[in-house]
Amino acid sequence: MVLSLEIPDRYAIGHKPDDIAADMKLSTALMRYRDGEFSIGAACEFCGKDIYAFIEECARHDIDVIDYDENDLEREIRFFAQGKP
């Protein structure tokens, strides 16, 4: 899909159209990944970055990559407390 949009010149001065497009794609991928709409693979594909670069971008924007909540931790503590490897 090709999408065209108009950006006021004052916001584009000093920026190349390709750079603006890349920034918008990255921002959208980060937002949709954070909100659970994209998997990490889909987000990488959408913005054109490999997984390592995307993870670095997530870190720069304070977006968690590992989804590990308190319930997961408690379940693992109980599991290992039972002496299972």
The 10s digit of each residue's pLDDT in 36-48 is 999 999 999 999 9
Report yes or no on 55 lying in a domain.
yes
Report yes or no on 60 lying in a domain.
yes
SS3 60: helix
Cα(43)–Cα(28) distance, integer angstroms: 9
Give me the number of domains the chain comprises.
Answer: 1
Report yes or no on 45 lying in a domain.
yes
CA diameter of the chain: 65
Report yes or no on 8 lying in a domain.
no
pTM: 0.78
Helices then strands (H, E): number in the chain? 5, 0
Q: For residue 22, with 0-12 CB atoms within 10 Å meaning exposed, 13-18 middle and 19 or more buried, which class applies? A: middle
pLDDT value for 81:
87
Cα(1)–Cα(36) distance, integer angstroms: 22
State which residues form the domain around 29.
Answer: 15-81
